[in-house]
Chains A and B, each alone.
Chain A
Amino acid sequence: MSTPTDRVTDIPAEVGPGKANTRKPLFAFTFLAACCGMLVSMSNFLSVDIISENQLRFEQKQMREILGNHQAEVSRIAPDVFQIGTIDEPQGFIFKQLTNDGYNGQINLWIGVDTKNNIIGVRVIDHKETPGLGDKIEAGVSGWIHTFEGRSLLSEPDAAWTVKKDGGVFDQFSGATITPRAVVIAVKAGLERSEREQETWLNRSQQENQRLNSPTMTQENR
C-alpha cells in the first residue's frame, strides 16, 4: 500500500483525440451517471411516501398544538378549513393562511379562532426564514407565536396589528423585522377572512354533515 499523498493536482497534459482515448472515459461517465441516477431514484422511491406522511403528520401536529389540551373533534369543511367541535356544536375553526411577504418567500400558517373570532392559537406550518433570525416565529424556537392567543380584531385597534417598529403591539425580533411583520399582517388578514366567511363555513358544515364527518384528515386532503 502506497502512502497517501496530499498534493495539488498536476495540470493534465493535452490528450489527443484518438478513438480509444475518448471511448473509455465516455463509457465510465455514462455508467456512473446511470448508477447515480439509480441511487437517487431509489432513495426517492423509498422515501417519498414517508416524507409526505411526515409532512401531513407535522401539519396535524401543529394543528393539535393549537387545540391544546381539550381533545376536540376536528372535521374538514373546505380544502383549507377545519371545524373544531361537532357539527351541531361548532367551537371554532382552524384554517390555513399563506403570506408571500416573508424574508425568503412563503410562510404558511394555521390560524385557530373561536366562533366569536378570537384567536385560539397560531402555528407556522412551513417557512424558509433564516435559521437563528426569522425562525423565532416557530413555536419550537421561541414563545413569540403565543402572543396572538386571545386577541381579535376588536381587542386591538386596527393600527396596532403590526410590529412595534411600525407602531403596533407585536414584538419584532432583534435583527429580523420583516418576518414577524409578515406573520402579524397575515394573521390580521386571516381574521378578516374568517369574519367574512364564518357564516359560510357554518352553513357548509351543516350541509356537508353527511359527507365529510371524518375526524381525521386523509391523504388527498393535502
Chain B
Amino acid sequence: MSGQYLTLARDGLWNKNPALVQMLGLCPLLAVSTTFVNGTILGLVTLAVLTASNLLISTIRGSLDDRIRLPLQIMVIATFVTCADLALQTWLFEIHQRIGLFVALIVTNCTVLARAESFASRNPIRASLVDGFMMGAGFLLVIMLLSGIREILGQGTLFQGARSLFTQGTSGATDHNWTINFEFDGLLLVILPPGAFLTFGCLLAAKNWLDQYEQR
C-alpha cells in the first residue's frame, strides 16, 4: 500500500519527472523561469491544478467514453485553471499582475493533460491524487531550480520581487527587502529564451549523469 505511493512519489520527483524525463510542460517552464519568485508561484499553481484535475478525472473515470474523453479532460483542466486564476487575483493580486499572462497558459501545459489521460482516467482516486501531487511537485522543483539558476546567473539577484508576496493588502511598503544582490551584473544570455534552453539542457545533463553515476 504505502510502497505503491512511494513508487508514485519517486516517479513524480525523479524517475518520471514531468520536465526532466517526460519533457512535458516546457513552454511555461522555459518562459516563466526568469525569476525565482515568478517561477515558484507558477509551479505552485500548476501543482494545485494538476492535483485537482487528477482528483476529478479519477472520480468520473467510470463515465469517460473514448469519444468524449479528451474534450472532457480539457474542459475539467480549463475549469480549474480559471478558478486558480481567479483565486490568484483574489489573494495574490500583485503577483497576478506579473505572471497572470502565464497562468492562463497552464491549460496548455501538457503535463496536466498527460497525467489526466495516462494515469487519472484509469486509476483509483487516492493513487491519482498522490500521482497528481507528486508530478506537480516534480515540476515545481525543476522550475524552482531552473529559475533560481537563471536569476542568479542572468541578473545577479535572487528573490527579486519577493516583497510583493508579503505586502499584499497592506498599504505601506515593508522595510525588509528580500532581494539578495550579488556583486555581479549577470549574463544577459541566460535571461533570454536561448538561455532557458541552455540552462535546461545543463540540468538534463546533470540529471542523466547522476543516474549513470548511481548505476556504476
Q: Measuring CB to CB, which residues of chain A are less than 8 angstroms from any residue of chain B?
A: 1-9, 12-13, 15, 24-26, 28-29, 32-33, 36, 39-40, 43-44, 47, 50-51, 54-55, 57-58, 60-61, 64-65, 104, 126, 128, 130-133, 135, 138, 140-142, 174-175
Contact = CB atoms under 8 A, between A and B. Distances in A.
A175 B188 contact: yes
Interface residues of B, number: 57
B118 A25 contact: no
Nearest to B195: A175
Given A4-B127, A29-B68, A131-B99, A140 B164 contact: yes
Nearest to B147: A132
A35 to B, nearest CB: 8
Interface stretch (B90-98, B136-144, B205-213): B90-98
Contacts of B35: 131-132
Contacts of A2: 123-124
**DSSP class of B's interface residues: helix, strand, loop or mixed?**
helix
7 contacts: A25-B67, A28-B68, A29-B71, A32-B76, A51-B89, A58-B97, A135-B98
A8 B90 CA distance: 38
Contact of A43 (B63, B86, B123, B185): B86
Contacts of B78: 36
B34 A6 contact: no
A15 B67 contact: yes
A58 B34 contact: no
Contact of B82 (A15, A40, A128): A40
B118 A6 contact: yes
Contact of B4 (A4, A24, A29): A4
A4 B123 CA distance: 6
B168 to A, nearest CB: 9
Q: Which 5 A-B pairs have the closest CB atoms?
A: A132-B34, A25-B65, A12-B66, A54-B93, A36-B79
B123 A5 contact: yes
B72 A51 contact: no
Interface in B47-78: 60, 63-68, 71-72, 75-76, 78
Interface of B: 4, 8, 11, 16, 32, 34-35, 38, 60, 63-68, 71-72, 75-76, 78-79, 82-83, 86-87, 89-90, 93-94, 97-99, 101-102, 117-119, 122-124, 127, 131, 151, 154-155, 160-161, 163-164, 169, 171, 173, 185-186, 188, 191-192
Nearest to B99: A131
B123 A133 contact: no
Nearest to B168: A54
Contact of A175 (B8, B68, B75, B192): B192
B34 A133 contact: yes
Nearest to A140: B164
A33 B34 CA distance: 36
A129 B123 CA distance: 41
Contact of B160 (A3, A141, A174): A141
Nearest to B84: A43
A24 B63 contact: yes
Contacts of A5: 122-123
Given A9-B118, A36-B76, A61-B171, A4 B63 contact: no
Contacts of A47: 86-87, 89-90
A174 to B, nearest CB: 5
A54 B90 CA distance: 7
A218 B78 CA distance: 34
A60 B169 CA distance: 11
A6 B214 CA distance: 24
B48 to A, nearest CB: 13
Nearest to A174: B188
